[in-house]
Every structure is written in C-alpha cells, then in structure tokens.
Structure 1
Amino acid sequence: MTQVAARPDVRPAVVLAGVLLISLNLRAGLAAYPAVLEQVRTELGISSGVAGLVQSTALVAMGIGSFVAVRLSARYGRERAMTGAVAVLLAGSLLRYVPSLTALVVGSLGVGTGIGLAGVFLSGLVKEHLAQRAGLVTGLYVVSMLLGSTIASSAVVPLSGALGGPSHALATLAVPAAVALAGWLLVAARTMPPPERTATALPWRSPLARVFAAYMVLSSMQFYGWLTWLAPYYQDRGLSTSRAALLLSLLSLAQIPAALVFPALAERHHRWLAWALVAVGMSLVGAVGILVLPDGVLGPWPWVVLVAMGVGAGFPMALTLVSWKSRSPAEASGVTAVGLGVGYLGAAVAPLLMGVLHDLTGSFTAPLLVLLVAAVVMGLTARRFSLVQP
C-alpha cells in the first residue's frame, strides 16, 4: 500500500479538522431519508419493500465503495482519493432533488458510494496521522458523524414542508457536503504525489479482517435497521411524523456519549470485551422493550436511548480494536475495507428484509425480531473478535 508523503506543514490538527468536517456527512443522508420515508412513499407511490430497498441500495453502494477504496488510495493517495469520495457524495445528494424513484435510487447510490469510500480512507488517515490517540480520534469522528445524522433527521421534516416535498429537503444535504469538500481540499493541496504504487489486494485471508467483517454485519444490521424503520414503526402506532422524527434524532443523539465513552474506557482499562458486552446488553434490553412494551411508562424514549447507546458503541469499538491490532496504516485500511465492505453488504439485507416482512405480515413484530437476533449473535461474536490476531 502506498504511503502518501505529506509536507511538514500538514499538521495533525489540520487533518483532524478535515476528518471531522467529512464525518458530519457520513450518516446524514442515510438518517434523513427514514424521517421522511412515509412522505416519500406517498409522493412516489411506493410500497414498504421498495422504500426499504432504497436504503438497502445505499448500503450496497457503501460496501462496493469500501472494496474499491484500497485500490484508489494506492493510485492517488488517501488524501486526494478522499476528495473524490466527498465529491461523489455531494453529487448523489444533489441528484435526490428530483422527485422520482429513479433519481432517489441513483442519488442514494452516489451517497452510499461516497460514504463507503470515505470510511476506509478515514481509517488509514487516522492510523497514519493520528495514531497516538486512535481511540479518542475515532470517538470524535464517530461523534461528528452522529451529530450530522441528528441534525439531518430533525431538520428534514420541517425542510420538507418549507421546500415543497421530501425530495427537495433531502437535496439540502449537499450543503454540508460542499463545505466538507472545500475544507478537505486544504489538506489534499498540501500533500505530495504518491511516491510509488504497490499491491492493492484486500486481506481476505486475514483472521482479523474476517471476524471484523462478521462483527460489522451484525452491528450494521442493527444500526441501519433501526435507522430505517424506527420512525415508521412508531408512526404506525399513531405517533405524528414530527414526533417520530424526534425519536429518530434521539436515536442518533444518544449514540454520542456511547461513541466517546466506550472506546475510551476500553482503551484506559484494556478490557475491550467487557465493555463490548455491556453495549450489546443495552441494545438487547432496548430492543426487547420496544418490541414488548413499546410505549412503556415513560413512553418509547428510554428504550430508544438504550438501543442507541448499545448500537452507537459497536462501530467505534470495532474500529478502535482494528486500530490497536493493525501493524501499519496499510493493514488498517485493508482490514477496514474488508470489514466495512462485507458489513455494509450484509447490513443491506436488514432494511429490505424488514420492509418485505412488514408488507407480508402487516406488522412490525417480525421485522423487529430480525434486529433482536442480530444483537444476540453479535454478543456471541464479540469474544472471538477480542482474541483474534492479524
């Protein structure tokens, strides 16, 4: 894998600022869509299965982007390749302005591809420029990512009303993407061309990559399953669109402390498995609560917080462990590419399967059971992940 030679004036703080700007965009497009999913169904006249397929399409694109990222970073350097990734995300966001199913699907493909590419580039950039505080930095960029999704999911409903429809509202996410692109150009402009090109084969035989991939499938299934269908589930139970969007915002917002605290505790005490299992337990309790007592004594809010904190810890905890176990930026990028690529492709099953199950049964019980099972299997996978070697 090529190592990009950076000029001395590219300070870690500059790289971190660019990373955080980009991270704001890495869940926003995916979080905004579910908040207006029912409006999109009405506007375009589509079923729950097709609506879920749109989100699954974005996840498939994320997986493919993750696989391609290693080759692109070797050819152009991580910094320059990141510029292209954000540009693709920006173009996809703009395309969703057109109120048609074709534009929504193709735009979602662009958003997903950009996110998939950027996720792998970020892992290598953290290992290369910010390795001494990998746990903290990973937590910070995941927090930035979650802030972006929180703002997007809470703003898209009023924007839909103000701009005349959900398609126009989804296209406003091109604005933060354009800001991120402008900011990242400052980093890319200060890097030297890649000194050489080396092998770009993905580490499919790596035990670390394989178990990371399995873990990410289960973690991502829960994240994107809840992200896509939590709001429609509670709307089906009589909650208004605006209050359901608030639940979706809470799902993102409550992940922030978990994304910061869990990796930091694991790093400080060197007890990754214990904290990983605590996170899984929280998501399990929350999922059971939403399924069995959806309205509860205090309403759905405590259950959503538990799910959010459990699911929110999974992704940064996994990335932190990969950073600890990887021996170089190249290895970190390769393992991340395999894990995220397989994880996103596997996770793409969840929104589609849940939508189809809802169409077939007329109920959300079967769809929610999919997420419950995923949490149980994730807990069983955590121990192997904690012990595996590269």
Structure 2
Amino acid sequence: MKQRYVLLILALFAVSMNLRPAITSISPLLQDIRQDLGMNGTAASFLTALPVLCMGLFAPAATSLEQRWGMKPVVAGCLLLIGAATAARLVAVHTGWLLLTAGLIGIGIAIAGPLLSGFIKMYFPNRAGAMVGIYTLGMGAGASLGAGMAVPLQQAFGFWSSSLAVWALLAGAALLIWLAIVPTGKQAARAAGGKLPWRTPRAWLITLFFGLQSALFYAATAWLAPYLRSLGFGAGEAGLVVTGFSLLQMFFCFLIPNLSEKTPRRRPWLLASSTAALAGFLLLLAVPMVSVWLAVVFLSTGLGGLFPLALLLPLDETDTPAAASAWTAMASSAGYAIGSIGPILVGTLLDLSGSFHFALASVLLLCVAMILCSLPLGTRARK
C-alpha cells in the first residue's frame, strides 16, 4: 500500500513539472526571439500572457471533460497536447506560429491543473496540505529547469527554437509515468452544491487577489531577464538570476503555507508576502545601485508565498468540499484571465515609453491593489 502511494506521488510530481517550463523558458531567450522574429514588446508579452489567458478561459472545461472521459485519459491528453505544442516550437519561424504553440500549451495547462487538485482529493483526502506542497514543488522545479536551462540549451543546440522544443521530452516522460501508474476507472465523487459563486462578493475578492498575484508573477517571469539584459547583464548571468528566482520561489512555495498552518488565521502571512513582493519590485527598480540578488530574495519570498496562500483561501472560506472546489474553480478561471494582464501591461508600456523602469513601475500599482485586496482576507479560522 505504501509503495502504491509513493508511485501516485511520483505521478503527481511528474505531471506538475510540466505546467511551467514552456512558459518560463521564454524569458531568458526573449531578446534573441524578438530580434530573430522582429517582435515588438507587446507581441513578445503575449508569449507569456496568452498561455495564462488560456488557463483562465479553459479551466472550467476540466470538470465536464473529466465527467465524460475520466481523469486519467484527460490528463494524458493534456500532456500530449503540451508535449506536441512544445515540440512544434522546433520549427517556429514566424511570430504567429510561436503564439499558436503558446495558446495550445495554455489550454493543456488549464485543464490539467484543476484535475490534479481532484487527483489529490481522490487519493490523498487526509493529506491535502502536504500534497499541495508536492504539487507546487513540482511546478517550481519545472519552472526552475525551464528558466535555468534555456540559455545553456540554446548554446548547446545553436538556436533558441531547439532550446524551447526540448521540453517536449519532459512531457513525454510524464505521460508514460502517468499512464503506467494511475489506475483506470476510479472517479471522483460528484457532490451537489458546487455552482460557481459568481454572486458572492467575497469570492470575487479572492478571485481578484488570485488574479493580481498571478499578474505579478507572470510579469516578473516574462520580463525579468529582458530587464536585466537591458541593464548590461549577459544572457548567462540573466538566466542565472531567473533560475535563482525560480528556485527560491519553489522553496517559499513549500515553506510559507506550512508555516501558516501553525497560526489560526492566514492574514499575517498574506500581508507579509504581499509586502515582500512590493519591496522586491522596488529593489528591482534600484538595480544596479542595489544587488539584484537582494531584490530577487524579496521578490521570491513574496511571490513564492502568495501563490499557495491564494490556493488555500477558498478552503478556509468555505464549509464543504463542493463549495471549496467551486470557489477554487472561479478563482482559477477569472483569476488567470486577470493574471494575463501583467506581462501585457509591461510590454505595452515598454513599447510606448521605451523605458523598462517606467514599465516596471506600473507593476507597483498592481502590488498596492493586491495588498488592499488582502486586508479583508485570511481572517476566518481554517476549516
């Protein structure tokens, strides 16, 4: 029995590792991609924003697809879609083709993500907190690999398209693991009362908070490396900073939600993480007058804590599993749609002003809005 659960954890980790590399591998190579394809800042921002937008638009489809086909084949189909779209980047010679692959990857991620939450509820109903930690750890590991290996793989293969396409192998490996380990036919219980709470103001507040923290994360993911390159950092050095950013986030994604379990309410952790993110962006604007690593530590602490806390809020605010699932689905759907604004905002303002500092300064407004959203949240005792 113990070996079976270890294998199921392996399957969860393997799939979750594929939910970010195709997004984070873009940023370290973005300057070269823009030069080769003649992309302006707005178009380049959609390489990150489009998958996030699709994650919001297509997340609600996960439930109906699972009800018709079952969790195992749907997740397998998502991995196949992510892998095929990633492999198609090998022949990306036009901006439209690259954007098409970004959209398809976003659809695969959109549907797989909610189903992994259902997977946790199905096989680990009494270990949800720990398994969410494994889930976010896998996402962080994939994000770190995507960012950290982008430039070395480009140097090894000789072209950025090969560096982007190689992550199809990771999806293929996860597909084999998933098919070999996960049992066929077991379905999650369907509970009544799981309608999305569109008319509940507090659910909208959580959704807005989820969206704003997503916007901050994807703005940083898309534009951190190009910003550093504009300051004179080399491609390898900028890639190293982005890798450190991802690795530190992975650590805090696991640490902060576990620490928050030791307090009756999560509000102090929400405020601390939000403030750390604001400090990180402020310090980033001060580079090179301050060390870029100081900015990265604050940014990683803040953004690393905000994501898992945003996932936990619906669980704290609801009384039944059905309601928690509905609130989470709403937060993910509308929240990721809001999150897609982050990289687009930076890219558009960069085109209009020609200044990275002006473009990134706009992110500070998103930080302030997020802090205001967090003030009423995390005040309810956990269920």
Same fold (TM over 0.5): yes
Aligned partners of 1:9, 1:153: CA distance in 2, in Å?
34
**Cα distance 1:333–1:13, how it changes in 2: closer, same or farther (>3 A)?**
farther
Aligned partners of 2:308, 2:87: CA distance in 1, in Å?
29
The answer to whether the 8 A contact 1:220-1:343 is kept is: yes
Aligned partners of 1:223, 1:276: CA distance in 2, in Å?
15
Mapping for residues 113-192 of structure 1, pairs under 5 Å:
113-192=107-186
1:251 to 218, 240, 245: 245
**Cα distance 1:337–1:249, how it changes in 2: closer, same or farther (>3 A)?**
same
Aligned partners of 1:191, 1:14: CA distance in 2, in Å?
17
* Match of residue 4 from structure 1: none
**Cα distance 1:193–1:372, how it changes in 2: closer, same or farther (>3 A)?**
closer
Q: CA deviation at 1:381?
A: 1.4
Gaps of 5+ in 2: none
* Match of residue 209 from structure 2: 215
The answer to whether the 8 A contact 2:316-2:380 is kept is: no
**Cα distance 1:58–1:272, how it changes in 2: closer, same or farther (>3 A)?**
same
The answer to whether the 8 A contact 1:49-1:352 is kept is: yes
Mapping for residues 317-332 of structure 1, pairs under 5 Å:
317-332=309-324
Give the letter aligned to residue 10 of structure 2.
A
Mapping for residues 352-367 of structure 1, pairs under 5 Å:
352-367=344-359
The answer to whether the 8 A contact 1:91-1:110 is kept is: no
Q: CA deviation at 1:366?
A: 2.4
Residue 276 (str. 1) matches residue 270 (str. 2): yes
* Match of residue 345 from structure 1: 337
The answer to whether the 8 A contact 1:80-1:188 is kept is: no
**Cα distance 1:22–1:342, how it changes in 2: closer, same or farther (>3 A)?**
same
Mapping for residues 45-84 of structure 1, pairs under 5 Å:
45-84=38-77
- 3-state SS, counterpart of residue 131 of structure 1: coil
* Match of residue 310 from structure 1: 302
| Higher mean displacement: 124-133 or 82-91 | 124-133
Give the letter aligned to residue 375 of structure 2.
R
Give the letter aligned to residue 186 of structure 2.
M
Give the letter aligned to residue 308 of structure 2.
P
- 3-state SS, counterpart of residue 135 of structure 1: helix
Give the letter aligned to residue 361 of structure 1.
S
1:22 to 3, 8, 15: 15
Q: CA deviation at 1:124?
A: 2.2
| Higher mean displacement: 224-233 or 149-158 | 149-158
Aligned partners of 1:130, 1:194: CA distance in 2, in Å?
12
* Match of residue 89 from structure 1: 82
Q: CA deviation at 1:212?
A: 2.5
Give the letter aligned to residue 68 of structure 1.
A
Aligned partners of 2:194, 2:315: CA distance in 1, in Å?
19
RMSD: 2.4
Residue 105 (str. 1) matches residue 99 (str. 2): yes
Aligned partners of 2:77, 2:196: CA distance in 1, in Å?
21
- 3-state SS, counterpart of residue 373 of structure 1: helix
Q: CA deviation at 1:188?
A: 4.0
User: What is the aligned length?
Assistant: 381
The answer to whether the 8 A contact 1:69-1:337 is kept is: no
- 3-state SS, counterpart of residue 116 of structure 1: helix
Q: Which digits, 9 at most, give the CA deviation of each residue in 1:12-45, with x for residues without a partner?
A: 4333221111111111111001110011111211
1:41 to 27, 34, 44: 34
Give the letter aligned to residue 308 of structure 1.
S
Query: What's the % identity of the aligned pairs?
Result: 30
**Cα distance 1:266–1:288, how it changes in 2: closer, same or farther (>3 A)?**
same
Q: Which digits, 9 at most, give the CA deviation of each residue in 1:176-225, with x for residues without a partner?
A: 11111111113444333679898985442345542321111110011000
Q: CA deviation at 1:113?
A: 1.0
Aligned partners of 1:320, 1:150: CA distance in 2, in Å?
23
Report the TM-score when normalising by structure 2: 0.92
Report the TM-score when normalising by structure 1: 0.90
* Match of residue 5 from structure 1: none
The answer to whether the 8 A contact 2:194-2:322 is kept is: no
Aligned partners of 1:60, 1:352: CA distance in 2, in Å?
11
**Cα distance 1:128–1:208, how it changes in 2: closer, same or farther (>3 A)?**
farther
Aligned partners of 1:371, 1:27: CA distance in 2, in Å?
22
The answer to whether the 8 A contact 2:265-2:380 is kept is: no
**Cα distance 1:199–1:92, how it changes in 2: closer, same or farther (>3 A)?**
farther
The answer to whether the 8 A contact 1:70-1:333 is kept is: no
**Cα distance 1:223–1:58, how it changes in 2: closer, same or farther (>3 A)?**
same
Give the letter aligned to residue 360 of structure 1.
L
Q: CA deviation at 1:379?
A: 1.7
**Cα distance 1:203–1:15, how it changes in 2: closer, same or farther (>3 A)?**
farther
1:381 to 370, 373, 380: 373
Q: CA deviation at 1:95?
A: 1.6
The answer to whether the 8 A contact 2:213-2:370 is kept is: yes
Aligned partners of 1:86, 1:135: CA distance in 2, in Å?
25
Aligned partners of 1:172, 1:309: CA distance in 2, in Å?
30
